[in-house]
Every structure is written in structure tokens, then in C-alpha cells.
Amino acid sequence: QLQTRMEILQDEFKYFYGCSVIEHLKARIKKPESIIKKMENKNYELTYRNLVEQVNDIAGLRIICPLKDDIFSVVDIIKGMPDINVLIEKDYVTNPKKSGYASYHLVVEVLVPVMKQVIPVKVELQIRTLAMDFWASLEHDLKYKSNNKISKKVSNELVKCAKMINKLDNQMITITKECK
């Protein structure tokens, strides 16, 4: 549902302004084995209640924006949707994580009609620029390949790269403004 709405928003921007605040979208449903692994890692008892209450990212939508400013426009649009309830908001764009990770996270609740009832379903949204996505995807793979144990030297290098990416994202905003 949310993916379709974001695709419509992407089209609306292109139609009215000739460009979009959304570059592309990636949606995924977490595989049952990954859900179990996550619950076990966090020491949650494998109950349906814990699944619903503790796991926020069974449905995940990544929104990739061309520019850093676009992230905040997308966040405002989502927060302004009357039928969407924002449960959690984390701004790692303004305050990146120690790892260097930058992204805007929202956990929202969407009402999904199922048979004769409507159930609230949580979706984790990760909103970031193309450059932030490039860094996060590579860093995620590197951590997975080494079972989350990357050396201090590698993590320092990754923090340096994240800082370069932040600088690049800021420069792209300046260049874009100059061209307007």
C-alpha cells in the first residue's frame, strides 16, 4: 500500500515539476527465517505477540532521494498523511550513527483491510540519498561477510568515507541551488 502511494507521489512530482524528490524505491518483506533470527538475537520468546510488538521491520520500504533536502520533504509528506500513524522517528541524517550510518528512519502503522476487518501493520521506512545508500549497502555487506566483526582500521576507514559522502551530499545541494 505504502509502496504504491510513494510511486504515485514520485509520478506526481515528475508530472508537476519535471523532477522528483524520490529517485527510486525498494520494498521487501522480511523472510520468516530472518524474523526468527532477529528475535533470537534479541532474546525475545518466539511468540506471535512478540512478533507483532517487538519486530518493526517485517515490512520495509527504502526511499532513495536524489538530494539530502529531499529526505526532509519526503518525511514531512509522510507525517502529513492523515491515515498513517508514526510510531518511531529517528533522524540519523542530522545525527549520523557512530558507524557513520546516515538515514532517516520512521516506523509507521498502516491500516490494511483483511477480509472483514482492518488491521494495523507496521512498516519500517529508511529514507536516504543515493550516496548514503551506496555507503550503507556496502557497509552492511562487509559486516555480514565478517559476521559483524570488522577491524578497527576498516571501521575508521568507513567513518571517513561516510564523512566524504556527507560532504558530497552537501556540495550537490549547493550546485543544484546554483543551477536553479
Amino acid identity of 164?
M
Report the site for ligand 0O2 in 5-44 (rule: CB under 6 A).
38
* Alpha carbons 131 and 164: distance in angstroms, whole number: 10
Where does this chain touch ligand 0O2 (CB under 6 A) — which range of 45-53, 135-143, 145-153, 172-180?
135-143
Among 57, 70, 133, 169, binds ligand 0O2 (CB under 6 A): 57
In this structure, are residues 104 and 75 in contact, taking their beta carbons and an 8 Å threshold? yes
Residue among 140, 142, 145, 144 at smallest CA distance from 126: 140
Q: Count residues contacting ligand 0O2 (CB under 6 A)?
A: 11
Q: Tell me which residue of 90, 124, 93 sits closest to 107, measured CA to CA.
A: 124
HSE (side-chain half, CA atoms, 13 Å) at 68:
19
Alpha carbons 26 and 29: distance in angstroms, whole number: 10
Of 124, 139, 157, 178, which residue is the catalytic one? 124
**Residue 159 contacts by C-beta under 8 Å, 6 or more apart in sequence?**
98, 99, 100
Mark whether 124 is an active-site residue: yes
Alpha carbon 56 to its chain centroid, in Å, reads 12
Smallest gap from residue 50 Cβ to ligand 0O2 (A): 12
Instruction: Select the residue interacting with ligand 0O2 from 56, 69, 77, 150 (CB under 6 A).
Output: 56
97 near ligand 0O2, rule: CB under 6 A: yes
- Using the minimum distance from each CB to ligand 0O2, give the nearer residue, 107 or 172: 107
Which of these ranges, 12-20, 74-82, 95-103, 163-171, lies near ligand 0O2 under the rule CB under 6 A? 95-103
Question: Under the criterion CB under 6 A, does residue 128 sit at the interface with ligand 0O2?
Answer: no
- Pick the closer one to ligand 0O2 by CB: 97 or 177: 97
DSSP one-letter code for 80 = T
User: Which parts of this chain interact with ligand 0O2 (CB under 6 A)?
Assistant: 38, 56-57, 90, 97, 99, 101, 105, 136, 139-140
Active site residues: 124
